[in-house]
């Protein structure tokens, strides 16, 4: 079993309508689910409006990293769809009609492809395409950056296709997990020395501490994520130490998300 950490996965979610509250984002929870189904996890997320300067800056920074990034939205043909152009600027590449994209357009619309339709398959030079199972107008990939529409029914199967066709070698189904203990009556400050010790000792496991106030009591959720055997080792060690401290603990239920 390999304990090598996979590359970081990130998401960029684009649209003024998200930031204004007109629409709620569903992409980040779905990406977390899609990654989790493959033994992977999300490392970061960015929410951006339709400002091209900020988007270009964000893409320039993320393209300079080794992260695998999914970008949602802004690849249509309307004037506020600027993701294609910003990706090209960030990568230093001109936009051009993608040959396979043109072929797909002609299959649907014949030779009468107007400028607005063609704009949707003008990608940065050397980009690969991501098949769209709904309307066949593809997204595109630049290195480890993958650009899909904002529509969930299109975007989510496209992300799954990328994960299965480009990153199957990173899948770790069943190799990694998360476990946690709920400790009643303990404040976060009381757990810091224990967490400092475990963080130094178990460097390949990601430890977490989530405090909650459950009036009139306090409680902590002490968690561990990583390779199966290593997580079990950490949890067993935590159980032993907490019992020795006289703490009231039980295994936490991680099957449902909790409020922050």
The CATH number of the domain where 234 resides is what? 3.30.70.260
Last residue of one domain, picked from the residues 137, 170, 203: 170
Task: Using alpha carbons only, give the angle 231, 237, 243 rounded to the nearest 5 degrees.
Answer: 135
Q: Among 148, 170, 192, which residue terminates a domain?
A: 170
Number of domains in the chain: 2
Domain shared by 226 and 154, yes or no = no
**Shared-domain flag, residues 136 and 34:** yes
In this structure, are 182 and 145 located in the same domain?
A: no
pLDDT tens by residue, 85-141: 999 999 999 999 999 998 988 888 777 777 777 888 999 999 999 999 998 899 999
Rounded to whole angstroms, the Cα distance separating 7 from 203 reads: 17
> Is 7:66 a contact under the CB 8 Å cutoff?
yes
Strand order in the sheet with 68-72: 42-48, 9-14, 68-72, 145-148, 139-142, 128-130
Whether 2 is in a domain gets the answer: no
Instruction: Identify the bridge partners of residue 129 per DSSP, sorted by sequence position.
Output: 140
For residues 61 and 163, membership in a common domain is answered with yes
Same domain for 48 and 113: yes
Query: Is 118 a domain residue?
Result: yes
Identify the band that residue 1 occupies on the pLDDT scale cut at 50, 70 and 90.
very low
Q: Which two tokens stand for residue 15?
A: 């649209």
Can you give the three-state secondary structure of 126-157, one letter per residue?
CCEEECCCCCCCCEEEECCEEEECCCHHHHHH
The reply to whether 198 falls in a domain is: yes
Q: Parallel, antiparallel, or unpaired for β 9-14 and 42-48?
A: parallel
DSSP three-state, residue 20? coil
The DSSP letter of residue 203 is: T
CA 204, chain centre distance (Å): 21
User: Are the C-beta atoms of residues 231 and 238 closer than 8 Å to each other?
Assistant: no
| Residue span of the structural domain in which 228 resides | 178-251
Q: CA 113 to CA 108: how far, in whole Å? A: 9
Mean pLDDT of the chain: 91
Is pLDDT above 70 for 258? no
Predicted pLDDT of residue 173? 79
* 256 domain-assigned: no
pTM for this prediction = 0.81
């Amino acid at each position: 079993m390999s304990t090598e950490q996979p590359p970081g996965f990130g998401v960029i979610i684009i649209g003024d309508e998200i930031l204004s509250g007109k629409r709620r984002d569903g992409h980040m929870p779905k990406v977390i689910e899609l990654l989790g189904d493959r033994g992977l996890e999300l490392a970061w997320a960015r929410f951006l409006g339709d400002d091209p300067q900020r988007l270009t800056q964000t893409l320039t920074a993320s393209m300079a990293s080794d992260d695998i990034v999914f970008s949602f939205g802004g690849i249509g043909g309307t004037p506020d769809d600027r993701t294609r152009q910003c990706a090209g600027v960030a990568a230093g590449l001109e936009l051009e009609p993608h040959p396979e994209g043109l072929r797909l357009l002609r299959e649907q619309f014949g030779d009468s492809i107007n400028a607005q339709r063609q704009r949707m398959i003008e990608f940065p030079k050397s980009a690969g395409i991501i098949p769209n199972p709904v309307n066949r107008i593809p997204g595109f990939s630049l290195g480890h950056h993958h650009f899909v529409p904002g529509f969930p029914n299109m975007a989510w199967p496209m992300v799954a296709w990328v994960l299965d066709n480009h990153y199957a070698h990173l899948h770790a189904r069943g190799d990694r997990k998360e476990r946690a203990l709920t400790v009643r009556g303990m404040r976060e400050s009381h757990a810091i020395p224990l967490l400092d010790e475990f963080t130094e000792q178990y460097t390949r496991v990601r430890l977490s501490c989530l405090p909650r106030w459950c009036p009139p009591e306090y409680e902590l959720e002490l968690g561990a994520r990583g390779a199966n055997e290593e997580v079990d080792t950490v949890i067993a060690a935590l159980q032993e130490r907490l019992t020795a401290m006289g703490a009231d603990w039980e295994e936490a239920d991680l099957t449902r998300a909790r409020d922050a």
